[in-house]
Structures are given as structure tokens and as C-alpha cells.
Amino acid sequence: PGLSVQVARSQRVVVRGFTVNREWVEVEAEDIVARMMQHEIDHLDGITMVDRLATRQMRRNALRFWFKLHPELEA
């Protein structure tokens, strides 16, 4: 069992970056692919789903729930 939360995401994204050969690349995506790209970019930036929750109270509730599921992780 895990924690599932609703995270606001854009429906359309344009992602720019470099190829392994250091050439510029630009990718446009919509719908589920756009959401997936945003999710993976969050991983690269060290952003968690809890960081994306709208309010402090939502973050607190999500973390409390997580630690109830995994008491061995609580400090």
C-alpha cells in the first residue's frame, strides 16, 4: 500500500534540453505524456509529490498517513 495524492499538472508542456551529443532538443507533449514528463522532471529536481500539495495542512496530513503505513521509517 502506498500514498496517492492529486497533484496539479499542466495539460501541455514544452521541454527543452540537450541530447547526449550536446545538441539542443525540444519536445512538446500533451495530456498523459505531459503529466509523465512533469513527474519525471520533478524527480530530477528532487521534488516529491508531497512538495506539490497545495497547502501546509495537506502536506502534514499526507506525511502523517505515510508514517502510519510505514512506522519503521519514523525518526
Active site residues: 40
Distance CA 58, CA 54 (A): 7
Neighbours of 14 (CB within 10 A): 11
Distance CA 20, CA 23 (A): 7
